[in-house]
Structures are given as structure tokens and as C-alpha cells.
Structure 1
Amino acid sequence: MNHFPALYLNTYNFHEVKTPDRSTLFHIPTSAMFRLDRIGRAVLDYLKEKNVVSAHDIENEFHDGSRGTPEEISAVLSDFQDLAILSPDEPKPDAGMKFLIRDFPINTIVLNVNTGCNLSCTYCYKEDLAVPSKGEKMQFETAKKSIDLVLAEGAQNERINVVFFGGEPLTNMRLIKQAVQYAEERCAELGKRVDFTMTTNATLLTEEIVDYLDEHHFGISISMDGPEAVHDRRRKTVGGTGTYTTVAKKARMLLERYRSRAVGARVTLTAGYTDVVAIHHHLKNELGFAEVGFAPATSGPISTFNLDATELRAVFDNMRTLGLEYRDAALEGKNTGFSNMHQMMSDLYEGRRKALPCGAGIGLLAVDKKGDLNLCHRFTGSEMPTFGNVQQGIDKAALGTFLEGALDRSGKGCSTCRIRNLCAGGCYHESYAHFSDPLSPTYHYCDLMREWVDFGMEIYNEIIGKNPRFFGDHIATRSH
């Protein structure tokens, strides 16, 4: 221990999570979690008091051996050095990765098959949305070239995903069938697998359509905002009529008939509605969706529908209640279908580390009716610049420059944030809508997001400590 150099404690690289039964160190650079034993706990507590230590300091502090032998203390310090929690250099904020991006191995292509929609939801963010009679439908040649693009750019991928979006995608069922047939034929030729995904308002579902989607193993999400009074306030027909009765009927038919994959519900939370617990109970337990996920509206084009700070607080408090229900069920080996918490458990269990907030631009691109390549489906029809066209291909210089800017955390709050590799700045479109800059961190969420992640880590610790089998049964098998 006499040769141990003076070292700085790098508080940017770890975060402590404590529960009554265990103390855990969250390693921020890798998103890994390590259980602290008695000796590790003692060493870390001492280091936090000092921030910079010398060999002499450590020898004096731990000389009596009551908290560990010299060899055990040295082993802990060595582990902390390996994790860059201790370093001979003064700690610096994380400026992010800096490298040129010119390869885009996309595996997902989102086809905006029609700008037309038979609903007129009050909070819709789509800037190119039109009534059905004025909807501009994607042509098969555009869809075909989109599929060719993802197969060419992501040639190393064993499987691709084709997502059908709108407007309401079921208003262009003819194109969907053409695209499915083409994608299946091309993937069969190349020895690849193809998945199909759709988000729909469910109003146009028929038994025939459901059976077709089932035959081709579609992943399906239904946009539904809760019980009738909640849903009908925001999700209306073009003529202004509430749609709950129709959507609930079609959803029940789908859930009874569909066998390929679990069906989830996606909820948009708007001003005046924060009772997440009641919404989840209705959609999961009364209608029977496998999963229910929530997305608060905070930056839509009509500010009266956006949740204010007080309502966001109420939403997060409700989500904590659902999180505790999720924990209680997990300890019994069950999954409540609260997808926000389930995704968090998956991220922590698999140690996901994000340099970018999502796969937009790297793993995914969205194609609009003209064949232009958008960062994601949320940007089609917006004033955000596009990144090439399915005819000419990806504008790799422009897209690379954008993503390199997204990687750069210097001068941003993300550089010192403890959840920077789980959040990575937040949704590009949320930032674009809220700040007119897709590369601005979603600062209006930061405190709540840190609190949510801390809560998730506590839940994770409790489950992994008391019923680790849950992760093998419900997380490791999630993608299969």
C-alpha cells in the first residue's frame, strides 16, 4: 500500500443507490451496477469525505484493520481505479464521444404510408396531417426503394424491421400488403428475417385485417388514452365525435383474435389528466392489453394540451405508485405490463449505455410520401431538414454532422448528469418542439427524469436481491 499514488475521486463516474437491504454503486460510464460490500462501503464513504487521497491518508485511516485488511482495502481501491472512480487526474465533465460518423447500418425503416387520418386528436404533433379525403398516400415504388435502402445500408444485419405509420396507416392497407410481400420476398432471397410493426388508432380494424396482421406477425400498438371520459376528450373523429366505443370494441376483437405477439397500448397524457394508475388499470386489467406505456405531452403545437410542471409532478407521482405495483408483482414472478418501468428494468439488467438518445439516424430512418429521409417518424412533414432521399440514398455528410453534434456534450448539463448514458439528452423531437433545437437537452424533464431513474434503480435493487429469476423470465426473453 506504500506505493499507492495520490488519487482523485471522480464523482462524475458513479452514483450511489441505497435500499434497506443493499447498497449499490451505479457506474455511470457503463451503466453497470455493483453491489457494495462492507469494505467497499467503508472505503467509498471515506473517499467521499476527502475527494483526493494519498497512500499516507489511506494507511492512517484503515490501519487498525477493523474495516478490512490492507490487502482487502488495496483490492477495493484497485477496483475503483479500474472503473475510473479513482484517477491520478482531476475529474472532468464528460464531453461525449468525438468521432466522424459516415456509416449508417440502419435496421429499421419507418414508412409514413398516408398523411391522412380519420381522427383529429387535439394534441397531434404531425405537421403534415390531413383529413382522409386530402391525405397523400405513399406509392409502392417509394416503399420498395425504402426497403431496398435498409437492406443495402444495413447489409450486415440479420433482420430488418419495417414500420408502418401515418396519419392512420390502415387507410393505405393496399400499400402495406404490397410492401409486406416485397420485404418478405427480398429477405428470403438474402437469407434475412423481417419484422413488421404498426401503431394504429384501431378504428379501421376488421377481422380480415387482424388475421392478415396475425399471419405476418406484426408487432401492434394501439393508441388509446384510457377510460371513455379521458379518451373521448382528446381522441375524436374528424367530425368531432368521441371514438372510445369504437376503439374499445375493435381492441377487444383484436386481443381475442390475435396470437402472434403481445399487443400494447400507447397513452398520451395531456393537460387535465394525470391519473396514470386509473388509466393503466383500465387498459391492462379491464381491456386486456399486455403492456401500457405513457408519454406526457409537454411540447405539442397547442400549448393548452401540454402538461404543466404541477401536472408533470402528479404524473410522476402516479408512475411511482405503478412502479411499486410493478415491484410487488415482480417479487412474485409476475409482470404488470407497465412498460415504462419494464423498459427501465431491461436497460439496467442489460447494462445499456447510450451515447445518443435513440436509434434515429443510426438504426432508423423515416420515409415520407415524397421519399425523403427524416430523422424519425415524428419529423415527417416538419421544417426539420431531411437527410437524403430513397432515390439518391442517405446524405451521409449531413446526417453524420447532425449526429456528431448530438454526441457532443460539452457545455451541456448532460456532461455532469448522473443519468447521461441512460437518457443521452432526451428525444430530438421533444427538444425541437420545445426549444426549436433538436440538439438541446430536454431540460424541462431533467429533475424528474433523474428522480425516475433513481426510483427505478431502487426497484431494480430490490427485485435483483429478492427474486433475480424475474429478469431471466421476463426481461431476457422480451425480444423473442
Structure 2
Amino acid sequence: MSEANLLYVDTHSFHDLAVKGRRVLLHVPSTGIFDLDEVTREVLDFVRPRSTVSFEELQQRFLERESPELVADAVEDLKSLGVLRSDPAVPDHGPGISVTEFPLSTIVLNVNTGCNLSCTYCYKEDLTTPSKGDKLSLETAKQGVELLLREGAKRDRVNVVFFGGEPLTNMPVIRAVTAYAEQRCREEGKGLDLSLTTNATLLTEEIVDYFNEHRFGISISMDGPQAIHDKRRKTIGGKGTYEVVAAKTRMLLSRYTSRPVGARVTLTAGYSDVALIHHHLKDEIGFAEVGFAPVTSNPVTTFNLVGDELRGVFESMKALGRTYVEAAIAGENIGFSNMHQLLSDLYEGRRKALPCGAGVGLLAVDHKGELNLCHRFTGSELPTFGNVASGIAKAELGAFLEHALDRSERGCSTCRIRNLCSGGCYHESYANFSDPHSPVYHYCELLREWVDFGIEAYLEILEKNPAFLHRHVANRSSEL
């Protein structure tokens, strides 16, 4: 059999699934989603178990049953997608590029390592009380802003994020940096977004009005109804914080008009009823969106979701996702951030070479002015990548990112969601395996199932109410 008569089958370039009577194909390299007609479906099923297929085999199998033109079209479609190839398929080892530029869009300023709470599951290694915390100086913060403007010179908009500890324990620096960043962005002709995550306990009407005036994006850390929240989110003295957080949040939501306010929920072992938590925070407290972060890598392993309980969380998220789809078809947005993000990735056809923007579009500044991969690494033992005074250590950061881009030694090279996941969170991998480049193998299969669920949800909404996707999913980044 001649080479010219032979086609190679790349089983790692596609993933197909049945969705309510339809067969659809996820094109792994591009993350595009395609409907399969009957003939293409039959051709795909025929070639799938093979490493190679010849034209004679295709003719023998199909031409007596199907129109030659339809079969030829199906083969050409599969060739255009790389499912059928003229050369042997190889695993996706990544783009194999050198990283020499770091076009920042976001700088995270860790304004105080101190926090007025003592949440039992907190991952921050440098956390202490507010009075003992290491506060970011105004001069260091200004240098961080200048680094952002310098490295993000080609960006039309830049983002300054205030983080902690509890960032509201250093409001003087937040106010001063806000004024400085606004002035410098006006001078540079750039748009500016400001945001922070807070536990809400220190909010006052005056602070809320200040944030409203400057259009901060605000996210509140809150874990659900009182019985759940108070179990994990405590004061330094061990008292639950639900009552004060709920009261301060309601005050915030009654006064804040600039942007929608979201809740960030940390799910831990024993407290993982997603629907109950979402209902309380969205419908009873009044958040615009609720997002869930399952804990799987806490040093205190009793908090970690593992095994059946972790699977139960994903099943619970899918159940809430089905409610999301039903509401979306009716034109209602129930504010489930995890579904929003998943649908946004599918809608935009995002193709990720890296798991997130850490190190490329984002760096985090600690109190020493050191540049950390992201806010989760401040205080950790992972080496930093330069300083706001001296700039980015580009050789070291480039080497880190090039290692992350190299899939040759990882299961990611053949995974069907490799361009939607790209290995998962660096910090989660670092906490679990002491290696920020290790894929999150402990729940890879659950992530694959979550993406399959997202494809089904996306297609159903696209069929029954596409206006929802245009209104809420396409504009997600501008809404929040």
C-alpha cells in the first residue's frame, strides 16, 4: 500500500459526544465545536479505532451505501480538522516558543499581609494579624504601577488589584495608589480598572461610597448561610463572622451602583452544598454572581475535598448548572460564575497555551516589592521574578513560562481539554505536588466531565435562546 494512499488518524485532535440526539465534535486544537452530519459521523466512527486508513478501505466501506460526493466531503472535512492526516500524528508538545515579552495588563498589590480574620482554611503562608502585618509602602506601590504602565505600554486598559491579608486594613495606601494610578493613566491615555477582594468586615458607608465613586470591582469572600460560614470564617478570637459580614454586605449592596458585586465561596470538606449556598448568597443576600472554589490543596488536609466528596461537588455544580441553563433559556441570568466562565471560554473559542495569565499578563507585588507569579504565591517559597525597582527578571520568568508551555512530559499532550485547561492552577499544583508545572491530576477526569457538561449546556442555550449568550456571556468581562 503506497503512502499516498494512506491517511493517518489523529484520535487526540477531537472529542465527540452525543447531545440530545445530535453528535457534535470538539476540535481540540482550536476548541471549536462542530455538528456532525450523518455521513461524517459514520466516517468518524469507522476511522476512530484505527491508526491508519486507506482510500480503498473507505471506498469499500461507504461508496456502495453513500453518495461518493458526500463521502468525499466528509473525508475532506475531517482532513481539514486534522482528524485525518497525510503524516503520522504526534502528541501536542506545545507551541515551542521563547517567551521574551511580558505585556502586563494587571498588577496585584498585596497591601498588607495582616488580616483581621483567622479563616481555618487560609492558604496564605505569610498571614498574620493586621498590627503585625507587613504593609506595602506607597512608594513601592507606585513603582508597581509604573512597572505595569511600562510593560503594558501597548494595552489600552490596565488593572490594579488590591489584595491581602485583608486589603481594607491598609486603606490609606489604597486611596493614595488609586489617585496615583488614575492620574498616571490619564497622562498615558489608558483606561483603568480597580478591584479588590475583601472579607467585608471593615466596610463602612464612607468606604463604600469611595469605592462607588472610583468604580471598583468588588468581590466578597463569603461561604454561605451562617451555619456554614461561621464554621470556617472566624475572627482571630475564634468567633463566627456571618452576622457582621451579612450586615456589611447588605449595606454595600444597598449603596453600591457602579458595578455588580460578586461572592467568592470556598468549598471545604463537609460544607459543599452548592445549590443551598448559591440560593442563600444570590437570592437572600443579593449578590449579582456567586463563584465556587473547591479546596483540594490545603496543607491542613482535613479541609480538602477528595474522592467521592469531590465528585459530589462537581455533580452538585452540574445540578446548579442545569438550573442555570433552564433560567438562561427563559432569559434569566442566575449568576453562577463557574458556568459563566466555562460558557465564555466555549463561546469565544479560547485556546489556552497557559493555564492563566500569571507571569504574562499579571504579576503580584509583595511588601518587599518582589514580583510574584500571582497573588497566591506571595509569602511562599517559590522564587520571585524580579522587583518593582529593578524590573522583571525576564530570563527567569521566560524560562518558567517556557517550561509551562512544554507539554512533552505531561499527560496534557494528549488530553482533550488541553487547550481549555492547560494543566490547571500553578498554585494548586505547587501545593499538591511541590511543582507549579505539574497538572492537577487529582481531578483531571472531573474537569473533562465538566467541559463535556459545558458543551451540552452551551449548545442547548445556543439553540433555544442565543440572545442570552450575546447579552450575558459575550459581555462577561465588561459586566463585572
What is the TM-score of this pair, normalised by structure 2? Answer: 0.97
One of 97, 109, 115 as aligned partner of 1:99: 97
Q: 1:130 is aligned with what amino acid?
A: T
**2:365 alignment partner in structure 1:** 367
Q: Within 5 Å, which residues of 2 pair with 1:435-446? A: 435-446=433-444
Shift of residue 86, structure 1, vs aligned partner = 0.9
Shift of residue 173, structure 1, vs aligned partner = 0.6
**2:432 alignment partner in structure 1:** 434
Q: Within 5 Å, which residues of 2 pair with 1:238-317? A: 238-317=236-315
Q: 2:181 is aligned with what amino acid?
A: A
**2:349 alignment partner in structure 1:** 351
**2:401 alignment partner in structure 1:** 403
Supply the distance in 2 between the matched residues of 1:49 and 1:304 (Cα, whole angstroms): 43
Supply the distance in 2 between the matched residues of 1:466 and 1:146 (Cα, whole angstroms): 47
Supply the distance in 2 between the matched residues of 1:232 and 1:44 (Cα, whole angstroms): 53
Supply the distance in 2 between the matched residues of 1:210 and 1:184 (Cα, whole angstroms): 18
Q: Alpha carbons of 1:165 and 1:171: their partners in 2 closer, same or farther (altered >3 Å)?
A: same
Supply the distance in 2 between the matched residues of 1:277 and 1:40 (Cα, whole angstroms): 40
**Contact kept? 1:4, 1:55, Cα under 8 Å:** no
Shift of residue 84, structure 1, vs aligned partner = 1.0
Q: Does 2:151 correspond to 1:153?
A: yes
Shift of residue 42, structure 1, vs aligned partner = 2.1
Supply the distance in 1 between the matched residues of 2:68 and 2:252 (Cα, whole angstroms): 64
State the superposition RMSD in angstroms: 1.4
**1:333 alignment partner in structure 2:** 331
**2:9 alignment partner in structure 1:** 9
Local SS of the residue matching 2:12 = helix
Supply the distance in 2 between the matched residues of 1:88 and 1:121 (Cα, whole angstroms): 57
Shift of residue 466, structure 1, vs aligned partner = 2.0
Shift of residue 49, structure 1, vs aligned partner = 4.5
Shift of residue 103, structure 1, vs aligned partner = 0.5
Supply the distance in 2 between the matched residues of 1:101 and 1:9 (Cα, whole angstroms): 32
**Contact kept? 2:15, 2:25, Cα under 8 Å:** yes
Shift of residue 261, structure 1, vs aligned partner = 0.8
Unaligned stretches of 5+ in structure 1? none
Q: 1:6 is aligned with what amino acid?
A: L
Q: Alpha carbons of 1:382 and 1:203: their partners in 2 closer, same or farther (altered >3 Å)?
A: same
Shift of residue 295, structure 1, vs aligned partner = 0.6
Supply the distance in 2 between the matched residues of 1:261 and 1:75 (Cα, whole angstroms): 49
Supply the distance in 1 between the matched residues of 2:97 and 2:286 (Cα, whole angstroms): 46
**2:386 alignment partner in structure 1:** 388
Local SS of the residue matching 1:113 = strand
Shift of residue 360, structure 1, vs aligned partner = 0.2
Local SS of the residue matching 2:30 = coil
Local SS of the residue matching 1:11 = coil
Supply the distance in 1 between the matched residues of 2:33 and 2:465 (Cα, whole angstroms): 16
Supply the distance in 2 between the matched residues of 1:205 and 1:49 (Cα, whole angstroms): 60
Shift of residue 39, structure 1, vs aligned partner = 2.3
**Contact kept? 2:63, 2:71, Cα under 8 Å:** no
Supply the distance in 2 between the matched residues of 1:437 and 1:356 (Cα, whole angstroms): 15
Supply the distance in 1 between the matched residues of 2:100 and 2:51 (Cα, whole angstroms): 41
Q: Does 2:19 correspond to 1:19?
A: yes
**Contact kept? 1:17, 1:457, Cα under 8 Å:** no
**1:196 alignment partner in structure 2:** 194
Q: Within 5 Å, which residues of 2 pair with 1:46-125? A: 46-64=46-64, 66-67=65-66, 69-125=67-123
Supply the distance in 2 between the matched residues of 1:479 and 1:360 (Cα, whole angstroms): 17
**Contact kept? 1:94, 1:410, Cα under 8 Å:** yes
Q: 1:54 is aligned with what amino acid?
A: S
**1:41 alignment partner in structure 2:** 41
**Contact kept? 1:3, 1:55, Cα under 8 Å:** no
**Contact kept? 2:340, 2:476, Cα under 8 Å:** no
**Contact kept? 1:108, 1:161, Cα under 8 Å:** yes
Shift of residue 223, structure 1, vs aligned partner = 0.3
Q: Does 2:242 correspond to 1:210?
A: no
One of 460, 463, 474 as aligned partner of 1:462: 460
Shift of residue 51, structure 1, vs aligned partner = 4.1
May I ask how many residue pairs the two structures share in their alignment?
477
Q: Alpha carbons of 1:3 and 1:366: their partners in 2 closer, same or farther (altered >3 Å)?
A: closer
Q: 2:230 is aligned with what amino acid?
A: D
Supply the distance in 1 between the matched residues of 2:93 and 2:477 (Cα, whole angstroms): 32
Supply the distance in 1 between the matched residues of 2:52 and 2:355 (Cα, whole angstroms): 33
Shift of residue 416, structure 1, vs aligned partner = 1.0
Supply the distance in 2 between the matched residues of 1:104 and 1:424 (Cα, whole angstroms): 19
Shift of residue 117, structure 1, vs aligned partner = 0.4
Local SS of the residue matching 2:94 = coil
Shift of residue 414, structure 1, vs aligned partner = 0.8
Q: 1:344 is aligned with what amino acid?
A: L
Supply the distance in 1 between the matched residues of 2:255 and 2:307 (Cα, whole angstroms): 41
**Contact kept? 2:8, 2:84, Cα under 8 Å:** yes
Q: 2:474 is aligned with what amino acid?
A: A
Supply the distance in 1 between the matched residues of 2:68 and 2:19 (Cα, whole angstroms): 28
Supply the distance in 2 between the matched residues of 1:266 and 1:127 (Cα, whole angstroms): 20
Local SS of the residue matching 2:48 = helix
Shift of residue 406, structure 1, vs aligned partner = 0.4
Q: Does 2:123 correspond to 1:132?
A: no
User: Taking every aligned residue pair, what percent have the same amino acid on both sides?
Assistant: 63
Supply the distance in 2 between the matched residues of 1:274 and 1:476 (Cα, whole angstroms): 29
Shift of residue 478, structure 1, vs aligned partner = 1.8
Local SS of the residue matching 1:12 = coil
Supply the distance in 2 between the matched residues of 1:35 and 1:471 (Cα, whole angstroms): 19
Supply the distance in 2 between the matched residues of 1:466 and 1:3 (Cα, whole angstroms): 46
1:343-385 superposed Cα distances (whole Å, 9 cap, x missing partner): 1000001001111100000000000001000000000011110
Q: Alpha carbons of 1:331 and 1:21: their partners in 2 closer, same or farther (altered >3 Å)?
A: farther
Local SS of the residue matching 2:476 = coil
**2:29 alignment partner in structure 1:** 29
* Worse-matched range after superposition: 456-465 or 189-198: 456-465
Supply the distance in 2 between the matched residues of 1:49 and 1:94 (Cα, whole angstroms): 20
Shift of residue 6, structure 1, vs aligned partner = 1.6
Supply the distance in 1 between the matched residues of 2:56 and 2:306 (Cα, whole angstroms): 53
**Contact kept? 2:114, 2:131, Cα under 8 Å:** yes
Supply the distance in 1 between the matched residues of 2:185 and 2:398 (Cα, whole angstroms): 28
**1:231 alignment partner in structure 2:** 229
Q: 1:45 is aligned with what amino acid?
A: D
**2:476 alignment partner in structure 1:** 478
1:41-60 superposed Cα distances (whole Å, 9 cap, x missing partner): 22212222544221112222
Supply the distance in 2 between the matched residues of 1:288 and 1:4 (Cα, whole angstroms): 64
